[in-house]
Chain A
Amino acid sequence: MNAAARHVLIILFGLGLLGFLLWGMTGLSPFGQYPGPYGDVLNSVATAERHTLNVVTAINFDYRGFDTLGEEFILFASVAGALLLMRHEQTEQEEACEPHATREPIVGIIDPGASDLTRASAFVFIAAILVFGCYIVLTGHLGVGGGFQGGVILSSAWLLVFLAYGSKPFRQWSNQSALEWFEAAGAGGYALIGCFALFVGGNFLKNVLPLGQTGHLLSSGTIFPISCAVGVEVAAGFVLLYEEFFRALEREQPLRRP
C-alpha cells in the first residue's frame, strides 16, 4: 500500500475512533466527581485493617497482591527476554569471529570525558540517590513511596555512574551474576512470602505477619517485606538492562577506545 493511501485511511479511521471514544466518555461521571464506592471503602478501612498509611501501597501489595505478583512476573519475563535476545546476538557474533580468534576481542570502552567537577560532584549525587532510593523503598507503607518507585530511583544511581565515569567503572559497580541473583531473589521472595501464608494456615498472600503499630517502620505485616522484595527486583532488573544496552553500545563503537 502506498504511503498517501495509508495516511488517508488512518486519518479517516482515527477520526471515526476518536468520535466513538468521545461519545463513550460522555457516559462516564464528570471529571472530579468520582462516584465510588470501592475507592472510598478502601480509603476508610485500609489504615485500620492493615496498619498502613499509604492506601496505594496497601492495595498494591495486599488487597490486589496476587495481581501485582502477575505484573511483577511480566517485568521479570520482559527483562529476561531482553537479556536473552541481546546475549544470544553477542554469542552469535563471537562465533562468527572464531577464525580471527588471534585478534584481541572487540570490547570498546565508552568514556564520556566528563570534567573533573562533574566527576567529583557525581559522587555526591550517587550517594544521595542511593540513600533516597532506599528511603523510598523502605517507607512505602508510611508515606509516599513503595518498591516499584524506589527500585527505579535506585537503578538511576548506576546510570549516573555511567554518565559521569564511563562504562568501565559502571562494569565494576555492577556484578552481572550478583545482579541476576538479586533479581531472581526479589521475584522469588514475593512468591515465597505468599507461600509462607499457606504454611501458617491462611490463603496465598494473606497478610499473616503481626501488623505492628501504625506509623512504625516494622508495621503493616507482609506489605513491608513484599515492598522490599519488589524494590530489589526492580532495581536489579533495570541495572541488568542498562548493562546489556551499554554492552551493545560498546560493540557498535569499538573504535572509541581511549
Chain B
Amino acid sequence: MKFLPYAIAAWLFVIGLYGLATSRHLVHLILCLTVVQSSTYLVLLAIGFRNMPAQAPIFTDVPPGSPAVDPIVHSLTLTDIVVGATVNALLLSLTLNIWRKHRSIDPEKLSAFPR
C-alpha cells in the first residue's frame, strides 16, 4: 500500500502515452493527453500527503500550526488544472480548424505537405 498511489500515477502516465501513440482521432488524442496530465496531479498530491491526524492546509476550523499536508503541491495542482483546461480548449479549436481544412481528424490521414 505504501507505493500504490505512485504506481497508479505511473500506470496513468503510460496508458495515456499508449493512447497518444495509437490514437486514430484527434479528440481522443486530446483526452489521452489529459489522462497523462492527471497522472502528474496524482504524483504531486501523493508526495505531499500525510496520514491522519494531518488535515488540509486550511486553518479556518483548526488552530494554525496543527498537523497538515504539504500546501505547496496543492497550489501547483490547482493552477495546473485550470490552465490545463484552457490549453485543452486551444487544442480543440486547432482540431476544429483541421477538420474544416482537411475534412478528417485521423492523424494517419493528415499530411504535413498536402497535395
Question: With A and B bound together, what is the CA distance between A10 and B96 in angstroms?
Answer: 28
Q: Are A18 and B75 in contact (CB under 8 A)?
A: no
Q: Are A18 and B10 in contact (CB under 8 A)?
A: yes
Task: Report B-chain residues with C-beta under 8 Å of the C-beta of A199.
Answer: none
Question: With A and B bound together, what is the CA distance between A55 and B54 in angstroms?
Answer: 14
Identify which of residues 1-58 in chain B touch chain A, using a CB-to-CB cut-off of 8 Å. 1-7, 9-11, 13-15, 17-18, 21-22, 46-51, 56-58
Q: Are B68 and A22 in contact (CB under 8 A)?
A: no
CB distance from A66 to the nearest CB of B (A): 13
Task: Report B-chain residues with C-beta under 8 Å of the C-beta of A36.
Answer: 70
Q: Are A152 and B82 in contact (CB under 8 A)?
A: yes
Contact with B14, one of A3, A17, A26, A28 (Cβ below 8 angstroms):
A17
Q: Are B86 and A89 in contact (CB under 8 A)?
A: no
Task: Report A-chain residues with C-beta under 8 Å of the C-beta of B6.
Answer: 22, 25, 28, 31
Contact of A74 with B by CB under 8 A: yes
Contact of B110 with A by CB under 8 A: no
Q: Are B78 and A53 in contact (CB under 8 A)?
A: no
Dominant SS among interface residues on chain A: helix
Identify which of residues 70-86 in chain B touch chain A, using a CB-to-CB cut-off of 8 Å. 70-75, 78-83, 85-86
Dominant SS among interface residues on chain B: helix
Using A38-B70, A44-B65, A54-B58 as known contacts, say yes or no to A33 and B51 having CB atoms under 8 A apart.
Answer: yes
Between A and B, how many residue pairs show CB distances below 8 Å? 179
Contact of A59 with B by CB under 8 A: yes
Q: Are B93 and A244 in contact (CB under 8 A)?
A: yes
Using A21-B13, A75-B83 as known contacts, say yes or no to A39 and B71 having CB atoms under 8 A apart.
Answer: yes
Q: Are A34 and B69 in contact (CB under 8 A)?
A: yes
Chain A residue with the shortest CB-CB distance to B87: A78
Chain B residue with the shortest CB-CB distance to A43: B68
What does the 1/0 interface line of A25-48 toward B look like (CB < 8 Å)? 110111111101011101110111
CB distance from B87 to the nearest CB of A (A): 5
Task: Report B-chain residues with C-beta under 8 Å of the C-beta of A28.
Answer: 3, 6, 47
Q: How large is the interface on A (under 10, 10 to 19, 20 to 34, 35 or more residues)?
A: 35 or more
Q: Are B90 and A82 in contact (CB under 8 A)?
A: yes
Q: Are B49 and A86 in contact (CB under 8 A)?
A: no
What does the 1/0 interface line of A225-249 toward B look like (CB < 8 Å)? 0000000001001100100110010
Contact with B65, one of A43, A68, A149 (Cβ below 8 angstroms):
A43
Q: Are B90 and A81 in contact (CB under 8 A)?
A: yes
- Ranked 9 nearest A-B pairs via Cβ: A39-B70, A21-B10, A47-B64, A30-B2, A25-B6, A32-B51, A55-B57, A55-B71, A10-B21
Residues of B at under 8 Å CB distance from A?
Answer: 1-7, 9-11, 13-15, 17-18, 21-22, 46-51, 56-60, 64-65, 68-75, 78-83, 85-87, 89-90, 92-94, 96-97, 100
21 CB < 8 A contacts A-B = A6-B22, A22-B7, A25-B6, A25-B10, A26-B3, A28-B6, A32-B49, A34-B50, A39-B48, A43-B64, A44-B64, A46-B71, A53-B58, A56-B74, A71-B80, A75-B83, A82-B90, A82-B93, A152-B85, A238-B86, A241-B86
